[in-house]
Amino acid sequence: MKVRFKGKEYQAEGGSTVLDFLARMEGVEEDRLIAARLNGREVDLSSPLEEGSLELITWEDEEGKEIYRHTASHVMAQAVMELFPGTKLAVGPAIKDGFYYDFDLPEALSPEDLPRIEQRMEEIVQRDLPLRREVVSRGEAVELFRSLGQDYKVELLEEMEGEEVTLYRQGDFVDLCRGPHLPSTGRLRHFKLLSLAGAYWKGDETRPMLQRIYGTAFDKEEDLSAYLHFLKEAERRDHRRLGRELDLFSFHEEAGPGVVFYHPRGAVLRGIIEDFLKEEHRKRGYQMVVTPHLFRGRLWHESGHMDYYRENMYVFEKDGMEYVVKPMNCPGHVLIYKTRPRSYRDLPLKFFELGTVYRYERSGVLHGLLRVRGFTQDDAHIFCREDQLREQVEECLEFAFYSLRTFGFRDFEVFLSTRPEKSVGSDELWERATFALRDSLVELGIPFQVDPGEGVFYGPKIDVKLKDAIGRLWQGPTVQADFNLPERFNLQYTGRDNRPHRPVVIHRVVLAGIERFYGVLLEHYAGELPPWLAPVQVVVVPIADRHLDYANRVREALERAGIRVEVDDDRETVSMKVRRAQLQKIPFTLVVGDRETEGGTVSVRDRAGRDVRGVPLQEFTVKVAKMVEERVTTADWEG
């Protein structure tokens, strides 16, 4: 047969496998192979060779990483079943940077069990068991897994379509799987089990709670070590831990999951973010509005949200009438627009709201501030003429990037999300909206990727993802062009021709959800917020009681300059109080004693531990006030 490989055509023997063929190819490192792509299909290396095109799949390919880690999940599942007889298997996919498997176990696991499971995985790797693919009828597979007591696999099989399914075996272990996989367990080189979690079967809170084991796997030991270091750094930056340690916010089971309680210092930081947004919106001609939290259900039917978003909405009935706790702010802004006639001279009309919304999220996906049920958006809706659309989109993007850079973010990825399968409106309206967004990105010279089918149901959108200090991407600003909402609500303005016309609506957020941005901000800075954002910018530490009067005079002088300052007058040692300020990540600690009292100076210790003595109080005040005014993103004191 003829096989085309790396741009050349080769003769191959019938009956050979993909690996047989590749083993004869010059420059192919057999032990680095993961799988192959045969005539466009991903296949195991043990698959029969076919005439046509053949491509390698190696670790450098995303598909290669997924196959490698999926094999690791099978090896882990085999280890768990050997160590804990009676285990029932659920699902075990590869995920970004790793893998997991969900188990129904006869006993509860603890973190102490992970090294033991890892050790058994090592033994399975040493056995170098081949992973063999089998194609069987669905009925045979149901009978097999039922005989093994694997109820979850039986349930999956009964929901599948088609008469044939694929199984993979390695030694005595068998799993339902599409594949492909590594040729044998011995090809799995470097892995680490990371954590345990609970997970409902199929994400359904009414179904059994399973035990999930997370792990990761890499082709090279140095890559695994680098990733484990990254995880350690991410843990150090975890905003949930920082929130507790810095006394910023909390969650309470009594109040329900996914709703945030801001403590005094945490509310200060939130207020700083909101004040920035109010000021910058005012500069750009936005008008602030406030809309209710509770609307009649019929409004959401009219907007289309009930048809496309109901499962994420809090809907209830009172006095025979349907009500909704608002998941979006846009219908409220539309109602304000409709309160009086609008002229082309009024447009663009920009309504801005720090609007708190509520969306149902399954408890299993809630994650600190990053995924909540109640959050506030810096939400705006711009009502404009179609000929103003591109200019307004460009202004929104410039505003978003200015804001993100002000808070210290420098790297971004931008996506143009197009029409999803479930959507409203004509193809023509979607095309006009999509072209307007694309042309704005091109005009501003912003590189972007197309994200097919990821728009919202009423229009396409631009998504900006921001990269934090350790390279993670987070969802940030969005800009959405909407021709459909004006149609649904019959929005109009009077044009130059004195006739009614339909406006376009731009939905946009600058920082997006305040809660999520707050969490990302904490993780980006590892809690070491720059002075302009720090809830407490300065703490004054008197050496002895006799220095307390001077410490309070220092506090008053700093407060007059608008600096947030506290005096630590606890009866503890100076070193303990300085240490406490460092742990609280306060930018500057001022130690005052006899010398400072006599000279009107302060001894400055910055967050990095640098000490500068004898700094005139006025000089310190001016410098910190300037740092705050200029919104610098460091807290270094250079004397």
Which residues have a catalytic role annotated? 330, 359, 377, 379, 381, 461, 507
Q: What is the DSSP string of 472-492?
A: -EEEEEEEEEESHHHHHTT--
Pick the closest to residue 443 from 520, 501, 391 (CA basis): 391
600-629 per-residue burial string, b: 16 or more CB within 10 A, e: under 16 = ebbbbbbbeeeeeeebebeebbebbbebbe
For 69, residues 6+ apart whose C-beta sits below 8 A from its C-beta are 94, 95, 98, 99, 216, 217
30-66 per-residue burial string, b: 16 or more CB within 10 A, e: under 16 = eeebbbbbbeeebbbbbbebbeeebbbbbbeeeebbb
What backbone torsions phi and psi does residue 492 show, to the nearest 5 degrees? -145, 160
The C-alpha atoms of residue 481 and residue 451 are separated, in whole angstroms, by: 16
The dihedral of CA 577, 580, 585, 586: what is its sign?
Answer: negative
Q: Cβ(215)–Cβ(193) under 8 Å?
A: yes
Residue 574: helix, strand or coil by DSSP? Answer: helix
For 145, residues 6+ apart whose C-beta sits below 8 A from its C-beta are 153, 154, 157, 176
Note every long-range contact of 575-583, with CB atoms under 8 Å and residues 24 or more positions apart, other chains counting.
Answer: 577/539, 577/541, 578/541, 578/605, 581/539, 581/541, 581/605, 582/607, 582/609, 583/245
Count H helices, E strands: the chain?
19, 33
Q: Which two tokens stand for residue 256?
A: 């329900």
Radius of gyration of the chain (CA): 30
The C-alpha atoms of residue 205 and residue 396 are separated, in whole angstroms, by: 40
